[in-house]
């Protein structure tokens, strides 16, 4: 600390040639190490990055760090062969490179979907339950349903129906539009696949569900409220359709985490035991007790432990057995959602972002709990159904975005002359604080130094507010205080990385419920990250930032930007395939990301793009808020025409300028709202005119420039 004291003291009468903040002796004393530092090592490797970002914890068996330092996708999980791994950086380059360079010209942010991972998740879930059924001697089977609310994207739903048709996989709907898409999709699925109708229902919803029954879809209307039963009975009689009815029970079992708020006796959905008994009596009186065939319950998403799971399933199995005793035609027990995802790789049962079990543990616990109760009550084993949406779709989708710049609070360096001038301009109280700071520095009293530095800064701020000092004086006190902080090891080394993204659109659960997702650079993982940072998005909102990360971290290890001639720096958010796209809004009118669908193939890069679509344009998001972009463009075009006529130029020059301006305005409406790539001042029109690229899975091919949308497909009144 003496060097700091010398430097501060020297401001009163600086020795000749002494340079404030730049003299090496200033840093000669020991500085406490930063608790956020990345582990120092003489050699860095992809394996060290994998450990640092916990990739093997949250990513197995689908994500790993390859020898090139990039994130690789293992599309078939543990069955993926080395030559089948997909380098995520190569996928992003294919998507974002210009069309004339062999790319697709898509703008980031970008969601990359891997249907092979989705297929593997379905097969793994089914295999886990099949093994549990066989090993436990269970006398019925398992068949799952996908709750479409998790992600209603057409291709995801169609893939699940296609991949799951061999094992009777069905769909769950919670609203009328979800019911319509489920009905349409299941026309191509297994005839035994369930169509579970959850959510609050009116006459139209129930009528639609009964139409599905008429269409020979295996439809079950689940009662969420007691009042729905009267509608079901009345409408089914009018339509002459014998319904299959389920009911949702409010169990006593409840977990205490955030996701447990919808379970227990006070839960949002379901019937109490008293209401269940009234439903049974009314069905019996109506001669429809045989229609009651399914019991549904939901403990809550992200069930943390198998102990809680066993408790809830056991309670539900008791209710199921009682319904059998009362004469209901019971066949199915639907355990709802709750199969959790290990977002942070800790395999902990004490966290909302992790779970203490795997797929096989989950399946075995469910089967054991149902079998035990049913055997005890001498009840035939029911078909087990689950609605494991989060566990099915989370892994197959990766959000890619770019860090475009970074900032750190860096103050100017003061020379001894500048420091002398600064001190001379201080009022008496501030000068006293400065002398006290100097004395504390000489004594080596770190805490006292910070106290007087803060006090000095506050006095200077007050001077500035009162108009008694200039902005240079304000900058000088910042420099002094920053130097003190650095000298005693109290400065904050965390930078802010600005990312081309809207948190509210693409990661809304982080903003809304503090949901954490793994965020990792998808490349440069063979290099040691030299900085730590938080992520700040493009929105004009102070909440538009990510400052909490897995592992309890408040910053993320990151690399320097700008190395390699301004090469882009890509980050990936993983395990976000459930809910984020459906929940995302239009804050600041930032629309959704571009989307790419990638399948594993035998091509040189191990992948083929089967579907690609640019994100919503400025015109698209304006329409979503009831604006009319075509009329807006006409208004601006007329304004430009009026302006051009007032210019003192040749008529021919005016026409050229007007055409150029009108074309630029038109282009702006068709571009995405996000920042354009570094390589161009205006994003490629072809990729943002509402066009898309697509080929069937049966004929997977590369996507090239012939897919581009031409300028002639712009609005017809565009002057070009």
Closest CA to 256 of 304, 208, 213, 294: 304
Average pLDDT score over residue span 493-502: 92
- Distance in angstroms (rounded) separating the CA atoms of residues 565 and 190: 54
- The band of 703, judged by pLDDT with boundaries at 50, 70 and 90, is very low
Mean pLDDT of 516-521: 97
Residue range 158-167: mean pLDDT, rounded: 96
Range 556-567 average pLDDT? 79
- Choosing from 197, 291, 540, 695, the catalytic residue is 540
Q: What totals of helices (H) and strands (E) does the chain contain, helices first?
A: 24, 22
Nearest-angstrom CA–CA distance, 613 and 604 = 23
Q: Give the least confident one: 290-299, 582-591, 600-609, 675-684.
A: 675-684
Task: Judge whether 339 and 305 are in contact, CB under 8 Å.
Answer: no
pLDDT above 50: residue 712: no
Tell me the pLDDT tens digit for each residue of 184-211. Answer: 999 999 999 999 999 999 999 999 999 9
25 to 22, 266, 321, 440: CA distances (angstroms): 9, 66, 80, 18
Predicted confidence (pLDDT) at residue 681 exceeds the cutoff of 50: no
pLDDT surpassing 50 at residue 699: no
Q: How far apart are CA 252 and CA 299, in angstroms?
A: 9
By residue count, the chain amounts to 720
Strand partners, 521: 571
User: Any idea which of 577-591, 634-648, 672-686 has the lowest mean pLDDT?
Assistant: 672-686
Q: Per-residue b/e over 646-675, b at no fewer than 16 CB within 10 Å?
A: eeeeeeeebeeebeebbbebbbbbbbbbbb
Q: How far is 262 from 135, CA to CA, in rounded Å?
A: 33
Q: Is the pLDDT of residue 684 over 80?
A: no
What does the buried/exposed string (b/e) look like for 222-249 if buried means 16 or more CB atoms within 10 Å of the residue's CB? bbbebebbebbbebbeeeebebbbbbbb
Place of tokens 């269940």: 276
- Calculate mean pLDDT across residues 234-259: 90
Residues contacting residue 520 through CB under 8 Å, at least 6 positions apart: 53, 55, 71, 571, 572, 574
Name the most confidently modeled range: 410-419, 584-593, 708-717: 584-593
Rounded CA gap, 454 and 460, in Å?
A: 10
Q: DSSP letter at 514?
A: -
pLDDT of residue 168 exceeding 60? yes
- Which pLDDT belongs to residue 144? 96
Evaluated on CA atoms 495, 498, 504, 508, the torsion sign reads: negative
Count CB-CB contacts under 10 A for residue 630: 14
Contact 598, 114 (CB under 8 A): yes
| Consecutive H or E run containing 611 | strand 607-613
Mean pLDDT of the region 352-363: 94
- pLDDT at residue 456 is higher than 60: yes
Structure tokens at 361: 């543990």
236-245, 351-360, 494-503, 638-647: least confident range? 638-647
- The more confident residue out of 720 and 430 is 430
Q: Is the predicted pLDDT of residue 126 greater than 80, yes or no?
A: yes
7 is catalytic: no
E strand spans, 124-263: 145-147, 170-173, 194-197, 218-223, 245-248
650-to-184, 469, 519, 645, 658 alpha-carbon distances in Å: 61, 53, 56, 10, 12
The answer to whether the CB of 110 falls within 8 A of the CB of 593 is yes
pLDDT band at 415 (very low <50, low <70, confident <90, very high): confident
Torsion angle of alpha carbons 125, 130, 136, 138, nearest 10°? 120
Distance CA(619)–CA(637), nearest Å, equals 15
pLDDT at 351: 84
Q: 201, 221 in Cβ contact below 8 A?
A: yes
Distance from chain centroid for Cα 187: 31
Looking at every residue in the chain, the average pLDDT score rounds to 86
The 10s digit of each residue's pLDDT in 435-446 is 998 888 888 888
pLDDT band, residue 28 (cuts 50/70/90): very low
Q: Is a pLDDT exceeding 70 seen at residue 720?
A: no
Backbone angles phi, psi at 508, to 5 degrees: -65, -30
CA-atom Rg of the chain in angstroms: 32
User: Is the pLDDT confidence value at 263 over 80?
Assistant: no
Q: What is the edge-to-edge ordering of all strands in the sheet holding 170-173?
A: 145-147, 170-173, 194-197, 218-223, 245-248, 292-296, 332-334, 383-385
pLDDT at 407: 84
- Pairing relationship of beta strands 693-694 and 519-521 according to DSSP bridges: unpaired
Distance CA 522, CA 64 (A): 10
Flag whether pLDDT at 411 surpasses 70: no
**70-79, 131-140, 200-209, 492-501: which has the minimum mean pLDDT?**
492-501
Sheet strands (E) in 555-593: 556-558, 569-573
3-state DSSP percent of the chain in helix, strand and coil, to 5: 45, 15, 40
Q: What are the tokens at 16?
A: 């000749």
pTM, entire model: 0.86
pLDDT of residue 688: 38
């Amino acid at each position: 600390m003496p060097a700091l004291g010398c430097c501060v003291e020297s401001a009163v009468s600086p020795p000749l040639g002494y340079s404030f903040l730049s003299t090496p002796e200033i840093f000669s004393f020991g500085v406490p190490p930063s608790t956020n530092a990345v582990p120092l090592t003489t050699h860095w490797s992809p394996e060290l990055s994998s450990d640092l970002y916990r990739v093997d914890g949250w990513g197995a068996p689908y994500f790993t760090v390859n020898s090139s330092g990039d994130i690789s996708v293992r599309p078939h999980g543990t069955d993926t062969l080395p030559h089948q791994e997909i380098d995520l950086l190569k996928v992003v380059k294919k998507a974002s490179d210009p069309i004339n360079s062999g790319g697709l010209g898509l703008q980031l942010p970008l969601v990359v979907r891997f249907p092979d991972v989705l297929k593997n998740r379905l097969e793994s879930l089914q295999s886990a339950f099949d093994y549990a059924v066989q090993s436990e001697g269970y006398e019925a089977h398992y068949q799952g349903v996908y709750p479409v609310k998790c992600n209603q994207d057409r291709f995801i739903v169609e893939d699940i129906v296609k991949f799951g048709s061999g094992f009777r996989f069905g769909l769950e709907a919670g609203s009328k539009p979800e019911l319509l898409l489920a009905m349409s999709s299941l026309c191509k699925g297994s005839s035994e696949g369930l169509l579970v109708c959850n959510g609050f229902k009116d006459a139209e919803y129930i009528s639609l569900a009964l139409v599905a029954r008429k269409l020979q879809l295996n439809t079950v209307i689940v009662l969420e409220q007691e009042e729905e039963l009267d509608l079901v009975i009345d409408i089914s009689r009018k339509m002459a359709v014998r319904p299959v009815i389920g009911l949702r029970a409010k169990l006593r079992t409840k977990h205490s985490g955030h996701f447990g708020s919808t379970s227990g006796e006070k839960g949002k959905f379901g019937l109490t035991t008293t209401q269940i008994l009234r439903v049974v009596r009314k069905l019996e009186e109506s001669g429809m007790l045989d229609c009651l065939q399914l019991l549904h319950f939901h403990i809550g998403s992200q069930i943390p432990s198998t102990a809680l799971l066993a408790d809830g399933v056991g309670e539900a199995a008791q209710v199921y057995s009682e319904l059998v005793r009362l004469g209901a035609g019971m066949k199915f027990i639907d355990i709802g959602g709750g199969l959790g995802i290990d977002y942070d790789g800790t395999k902990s049962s004490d966290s909302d972002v992790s779970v203490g079990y795997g797929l096989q543990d989950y399946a075995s616990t469910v089967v054991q709990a149902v079998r035990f109760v049913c055997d005890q009550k001498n009840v035939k084993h029911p078909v087990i159904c689950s609605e494991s949406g989060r566990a099915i779709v989370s892994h197959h989708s990766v959000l890619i975005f770019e860090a475009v710049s970074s900032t750190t609070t860096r103050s100017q360096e003061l020379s001894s002359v500048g420091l002398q001038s600064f001190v001379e301009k201080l009022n008496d109280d501030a000068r006293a604080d400065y002398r006290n700071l100097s004395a504390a520095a000489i004594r080596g009293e770190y805490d006292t130094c910070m106290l007087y530095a803060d006090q000095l800064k506050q006095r200077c701020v007050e001077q500035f507010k009162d108009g008694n000092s200039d902005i240079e004086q304000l900058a000088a006190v910042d420099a002094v205080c920053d130097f003190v902080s650095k000298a005693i090891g109290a400065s904050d080394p965390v930078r802010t990385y600005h990312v081309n993204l809207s948190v509210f659109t693409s990661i809304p659960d982080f903003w809304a419920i503090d949901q954490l997702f793994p965020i990792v650079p998808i490349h440069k993982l063979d290099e040691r990250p030299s900085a730590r940072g938080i992520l700040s998005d493009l929105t004009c909102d102070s909440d538009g930032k990510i400052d909490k990360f897995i592992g309890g971290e408040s910053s993320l290890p990151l690399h320097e930007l700008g190395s390699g001639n301004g090469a882009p720096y890509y980050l990936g958010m993983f395990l976000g395939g459930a809910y984020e796209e459906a929940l995302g809004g239009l804050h600041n009118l930032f629309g959704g990301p571009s989307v790419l669908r990638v399948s594993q193939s035998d091509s040189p890069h191990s992948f083929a793009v089967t579907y690609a679509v640019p994100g919503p344009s400025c015109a698209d998001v304006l329409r979503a808020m009831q604006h009319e972009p075509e009329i807006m463009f006409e208004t601006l075009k007329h304004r430009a025409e009026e302006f051009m006529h007032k210019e003192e130029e040749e008529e021919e020059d005016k026409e050229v300028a007007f055409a150029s301006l009108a074309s630029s305005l038109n282009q702006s409406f068709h571009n995405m709202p996000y920042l354009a790539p570094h390589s161009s001042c205006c994003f490629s029109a072809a990729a943002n005119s509402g066009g898309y690229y697509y080929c069937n899975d049966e004929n997977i091919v590369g996507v090239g420039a012939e897919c581009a949308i031409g300028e002639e497909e712009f609005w017809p009144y565009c002057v070009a």
